[in-house]
Amino acid sequence: MRLTTKGRFAVTAMIDLGLNGGERPVTLSAISERQNISLSYLEQLFAKLRRHGIVESVRGPGGGYCLGREAAEITVADVILAVDEPLDATQCGGRENCKSEHRCMTHDLWSTLNRKMLDYLASVSLAGLVDQQRQRTDKQQPGAAKAVTFNVAQAA
């Protein structure tokens, strides 16, 4: 499996939204500034997340994005799959034709890894990552402002 920037940025942006959302929608420009992610890239990601019901958009003054469902109901797998991130460690994409149109000797190994990865990512909720980040921030900066910038590697 190769988790690309698309998946990493989508998860990072969702944690930011979980941390900084609530009373009112969060703008993509605010997420862009805090997380140093291109605004146009975030727009592409959030369009996909919105189509999958993971986020909702609010138009007009004071508009932005909010979670489409409870953070506890959103998993990392949901986010990654919504932005079309492939979760496949096989060389053949699961078609079993990686060695001269035949199944390679390690196909079962990589297929099992795919299932384990998906199971793990499906077990990690956005709420858990947000709580984990809040705890880290509180320990580092007691009384810190609500808007939080973080590195997605810290959240893992």
Looking at residue 145, its pLDDT comes to 52
Sign of the CA dihedral running 35, 66, 29, 39:
positive
CA distance 34 to 22: 17
CA distance 116 to 141: 36
pLDDT digits (tens, 9 = 90+) for 14-29: 999 999 988 899 999 9
Q: Which fold has domain 5-87+125-155?
A: Arc Repressor Mutant, subunit A (1.10.10)
Residue boundaries of the structural domains of the chain: 5-87+125-155
pLDDT digits (tens, 9 = 90+) for 87-143: 777 766 666 766 667 777 888 888 888 889 889 999 999 999 999 999 988 877 765
